[in-house]
Structure 1
Amino acid sequence: MYLSVRYGIGTVMTKPTGKLYQQVAQAIARAIDDGRYAVGTRLPGERELAEEFAVSRHTVREAMIALEIRGMVEARHGSGLYVVGTSNDGGTPAELDIGAFELIEARILFEGEAAAVAATVIDDEALAELDRILADMASFDPASAEAMETDRRFHLCIAEATGNTVISTVVAMLWSLRDRAPLSAHMFAEARREGIHPRVDEHRLIVDALRARDSALARKTMRDHLRRVVEDLLAATEVEVLRRARSEIEDQRGMVAKRLHA
């Protein structure tokens, strides 16, 4: 498979060298280094870049955040992302591993099926444990570390309820990657800062489906829940860009006010 890169001068086919968001980030970084996007200029919008590279909005968002972390682009004046440096200007060339959207895509696949399997074999003891976890989730401050850990316990409990060690190991690995992969950790941390936390009602719907031993419904409620996590992350990263832009505007207003009153 090749990545389509047009740069406005005709399509260029480049061989992939990493994950899709990394390919997009690398292509834009090369374009910046080659002067196609000069320092100080505005990058094309998210929708335009998605069309340019024939990828999803999620992939472009992860690529842009990766470039922000590397110090190559930043938000300005609420008008989009601007180039602020090249890959040789101090931005780290280290790979950022796994993005949050890529990770959730895998979780939708694995945890959706894990819930479907669990619905066929789950016992009363596991259901009681899930009820206890839901009670804990409802009692903790949503922004607390305890609430985050309770969310993890909930999903791992369902995976373990399948009775399949491979399934439970894979789900546990996906949860571990959420906090270990730098890009993913950055995006989830931003979501928490924006007040996005585990929703008890969505988790309760999953337990209801498991208690009914309804595999199709268990799969659907799990997938619906994780798709809402994707929507939350998109909203959180949009808010992050807007907040930085507002902060910069306020700084500029302050500077103008000082000059006017000098």
Structure 2
Amino acid sequence: MQPKLKLYQNVARKIEQGIKDGAYPLGARLPPERDLADKFGVSRPTVREAIIALEIRNLVEVKHGSGVYVVHLPAMEENLAELDVGAFELIEARMMFEGEAAALAALAMTDDELRELGDILVKMEDVDPASAEELSFDRKFHLSIARGTKNSLIEQTIETLWDVRETSPLCKHMFHQARSSGINPRPSEHRRILDALSTRDPAASRSAMRDHLRRVSEDLLVVTELELIEKAKKEIGDKRRRLVGK
């Protein structure tokens, strides 16, 4: 039985088939992101994950200020499952699990555990942004909250999600792209989570965690923004037309 493909894998497969069938020939520019999202009935983040997956496989190239172009034809059937989970899918799962974990931890964490969480945050604030140390403290911060729920299954689930973040090739590629663009963990948002936990307020803790993860998703949307490419191309075309008209 064939494993069920993820949404981005289905979209990537369909675009790849379009390349094979000649709908998107070698050298052609793919339709804008919004058009692809409408065509395949998926969200724009899903289209972005599909494009990035095809880019990793060297089938397309994103040319900033121009668009996404077909640069190679598929040589043979490849296993898209090897790219595993995309960052948007992962954040969606983290938002659900870690949001509820924060709400539970607000009532279950001991004062000592909250102090330890504060120590981790102080260390995160003191290291260089985007350093290996900051990323390590980021993970420790979130897993400490999961451990604070006193529920081993919740802790294991959230640890597994963090393992996926660090092992999935597609996820690693997207987060590396974010760090290369200067987008790093925000200690101030972690401080808000700690403050909410310290007040023993489940609703505020849930909200702080979900807001933080929502911001992570928004940062990735900016980094992987394909719509900006189309906008830049249109602006260049408009300028050229104005110049010709003078």
TM-score for both structures, normalised by structure 1? 0.82
2:157 equivalent among 151, 159, 170: 170
Which residue pairs with 2:123 in the alignment?
A: 136
2:78 counterpart of 1:78: no
For residue 125 of structure 1, report the CA deviation from its aligned partner.
0.9
For residue 237 of structure 1, report the CA deviation from its aligned partner.
2.5
For residue 75 of structure 1, report the CA deviation from its aligned partner.
2.0
Which residue pairs with 2:224 in the alignment?
A: 237
For residue 27 of structure 1, report the CA deviation from its aligned partner.
0.7
For residue 17 of structure 1, report the CA deviation from its aligned partner.
4.1
For residue 87 of structure 1, report the CA deviation from its aligned partner.
1.6
Comparing both chains, which one has the higher relative contact order based on Cα–Cα distances under 8 Å and sequence gaps of 6 or more? 2
For residue 159 of structure 1, report the CA deviation from its aligned partner.
0.2
Provide Cα deviations, 1:38-64, integer angstroms capped at 9, x if missing partner: 111110011111111111111011000
User: Is there any run of 5+ residues in structure 1 with no aligned partner, and where?
Assistant: 1-15, 246-262
Please give the alpha-carbon distance, in whole angstroms, between the structure 2 residues aligned to 1:147 and 1:92: 36
2:44 counterpart of 1:57: yes
Distance of aligned partners of 1:77 and 1:140 in 2 relative to their CA distance in 1, 3 Å threshold? closer
Check the 8 A contact 1:46/1:57 in 2, yes or no.
yes
Please give the alpha-carbon distance, in whole angstroms, between the structure 1 residues aligned to 2:63 and 2:207: 40
2:29 equivalent among 34, 42, 58: 42
Q: Secondary structure at the match of 1:238?
A: coil
Please give the alpha-carbon distance, in whole angstroms, between the structure 2 residues aligned to 1:205 and 1:77: 36
2:114 counterpart of 1:127: yes
Q: Which amino acid aligns with 1:145?
A: A
Aligned length: 227
For residue 78 of structure 1, report the CA deviation from its aligned partner.
1.6
Please give the alpha-carbon distance, in whole angstroms, between the structure 2 residues aligned to 1:108 and 1:173: 14
Which residue pairs with 1:69 in the alignment?
A: 56
For residue 34 of structure 1, report the CA deviation from its aligned partner.
1.1
Q: Which amino acid aligns with 1:157?
A: S
Which residue pairs with 2:19 in the alignment?
A: 32
For residue 236 of structure 1, report the CA deviation from its aligned partner.
1.9
TM-score for both structures, normalised by structure 2? 0.88
For residue 76 of structure 1, report the CA deviation from its aligned partner.
3.0
2:8 equivalent among 21, 28, 39: 21
Check the 8 A contact 1:70/1:92 in 2, yes or no.
no
Please give the alpha-carbon distance, in whole angstroms, between the structure 2 residues aligned to 1:222 and 1:93: 35
Distance of aligned partners of 1:77 and 1:187 in 2 relative to their CA distance in 1, 3 Å threshold? closer
Distance of aligned partners of 1:17 and 1:36 in 2 relative to their CA distance in 1, 3 Å threshold? farther
For residue 93 of structure 1, report the CA deviation from its aligned partner.
4.0
For residue 228 of structure 1, report the CA deviation from its aligned partner.
0.3
Distance of aligned partners of 1:77 and 1:164 in 2 relative to their CA distance in 1, 3 Å threshold? closer
* Identity between Structure 1 and Structure 2 (%): 56
Please give the alpha-carbon distance, in whole angstroms, between the structure 1 residues aligned to 2:63 and 2:119: 46
Check the 8 A contact 2:9/2:80 in 1, yes or no.
no
Check the 8 A contact 1:17/1:23 in 2, yes or no.
no
